[in-house]
Structure 1
Amino acid sequence: MKLRKIRQRLTYLTVVAVLGGCVWFFSTNTGPVAMWFRSLFFRARAHAVNPVPIKPLGNVQAAQACRENLQRIQTAKRRVAEKRATTTGVATWEEVLREMYPQYASRRFDPTFVQQLMPRCPAGGVYELGRLEELAKCSVGANGTVDSADDHVIYR
C-alpha cells in the first residue's frame, strides 16, 4: 500500500515538473534554450554514431589531420563569436558549419546535412565544440606519450 502511494506521488510530481518546465520554456526567450537543446541533440547523436575509440599511439598523420580539423572548427567558432559580437556562450554545429562552408549558407541545415558536413577525426574521435571561449576538442585528445606529435589537441 505504501509503495502504491509513493508511486502515485512520484507520478504527480513528475507531471507537475513537466508542466512547470513547459510553462517556463514557453514563457522565456526560447532562442538560446532551443539552441542549447539542438546542440545537446547533435552532441548526443555524434556520440551514439561514433562511440569513443581507444586512443591511438604513434599515428602522427592522423593526429596532424585532426589538429587541422580542430583549427578549422576553432576559426569558425571565432567567426560565430564575431558575428554575435560576444566572446561567451555556446555555438551550435549548424552555426559553425555555416562558417566553415559559406557556399551552403543559403541552404537549410537539417540534421542529415549537418552530419554529412561535420568534420571527422581520422582516428575515429568525436569533435566537441564546447563554449565559445573554450577550444574545440577531440575525444582522442592527448595520449600521455612524451611526443606531442601524435596528440589530437590544439593549444591556441
Structure 2
Amino acid sequence: MTTEFGIARAELEVVAAAIIDDGAVLACRRAEGKAAAGKWEFPGGKVEGGEDPRAALRRELLEELNVEVRVGELLDRSRTLVGDLVIDLATYDATLLGPRPGESTDHDQLMWLRVDELADLGWAAPDLPAVFALIERFNRP
C-alpha cells in the first residue's frame, strides 16, 4: 500500500525482461481477456511475497515463454499509476540461455524488433520508461 496525494493505493511489484538476442528486442502483445489486452510489454510478471525479484523474473519467463534466461543489470525501475493501482515495475536486461520462444501463455503475439522500432508500438504505460531507457542507451554516441 502506498500513499500518493493523500490517497492510499494498492501497489503491485512486477518484474520484466528486456531480452536482446542478435540485435533484436522481444516485445509481447497482451492477449484478449488479459489486463491491458492489445498493448505491448516486456515479458515478466508479479513478484510473490518474499520472492527475490530476479528469481521471480526467471520463474515468470519459464512459466510464460518456456525459456530460461540469465538476468542481468537493472535497466529501469519505475512506478506507474494504472487506475487505482500503482505498478512498481523493475525491468532487467536478460539473455536467453536457449532458443527464442515461439509462444506465450499471456500474449497473442511475440515480435523481435530493432531498438529503433520500439517506439512504433502501443506499449502498456508501465513499460514505457524501460522502452525509453533502451532507446536512450542505444542512441548514446
TM-score, structure 1 as length reference = 0.25
* Higher strand fraction (1 or 2): 2
* Higher helix fraction (1 or 2): 1
**Which structure has the larger Rg?**
1
